[in-house]
Amino acid sequence: MIKENKKTKVRTVISEETSKEVREALESVVTNGSGRTAFIDGYRVGGKTGTAQKVKDGKYMVGNYIVSFMGFMPANDPEIIVYVALDNAKGVVQYGGPIVGPIIKNILTDAITILDIEKPEGAKEKEYNIGEKKYKEVPDVTGKSVKEAKELLDGFDIKYSENGDTVLYQSPEAGTRILEGDTVRLYLGEK
């Protein structure tokens, strides 16, 4: 550490209530709006996309934009805030959500481990568009018959290891949320 500054309160800019309302609005940008590419399943992420057409000699430049995204988490009590801007990105749509949102998601996903951010209660669920893959919670199928496990794991790709009539172990473990169609491995044996 080179220098540590102490907090000094200068003034209150907005009330606690207004701050809460703004954070909730910015969380809805990520769950159901233009920032959907920064959504992290099970976590409360807020954010705002940005697109600015650049100006040269008093005129807007054609096809030359700065695209940005500001993201933070947890939305109810932020521990990390990230801002990323890309100047004149080429070969892509010129909007902050599709371009910068995935970068923000990667940074915040790494921050979950680094800052040991736990999954909060009441995280907002993403509203899915037609054709968009959905996350599903993996049910507990240990101790179940192969037939029962297959019924409970409808919508997942099931891979079996070993032989037997009973599920002894499963991966990922019960309660994990994964994309619909992802693989669940079942290790079989006899009771």
139 in the same domain as 102: no
pLDDT score at 176: 80
99 in the same domain as 174: no
Give CA separation, 86 vs 69, 90, 187, in Å: 9, 10, 46
Whether residue 151 lies inside any domain: the answer is yes
94 in the same domain as 26: yes
Whether residue 4 lies inside any domain: the answer is no
100 in the same domain as 22: yes
159 in the same domain as 88: no
99 in the same domain as 30: yes
99 in the same domain as 41: yes
8 A C-beta contact, residue 35 and residue 95: no
Structural domain boundaries, residue 91: 16-114
Whether residue 7 lies inside any domain: the answer is no
95 in the same domain as 25: yes
pTM: 0.62
Per DSSP (E only), the strands in 57-175 are 59-73, 80-87, 135-137, 157-161, 166-171
pLDDT score at 134: 74
Number of domains observed in the structure of the chain: 2
140 in the same domain as 110: no
pLDDT in tens, the chain (191 residues): 898 888 888 899 999 999 999 999 999 999 888 888 899 888 999 999 998 989 999 999 888 889 999 999 999 999 999 999 999 887 666 677 788 989 999 999 999 989 998 888 767 666 666 666 777 788 999 999 999 999 999 989 999 988 888 999 999 888 887 788 889 999 998 87
Domain closes at, from 53, 82, 114: 114
148 in the same domain as 108: no
Whether residue 1 lies inside any domain: the answer is no
157 in the same domain as 70: no
Q: Which CATH number is 159's domain given?
A: 3.30.10.20
Whether residue 163 lies inside any domain: the answer is yes
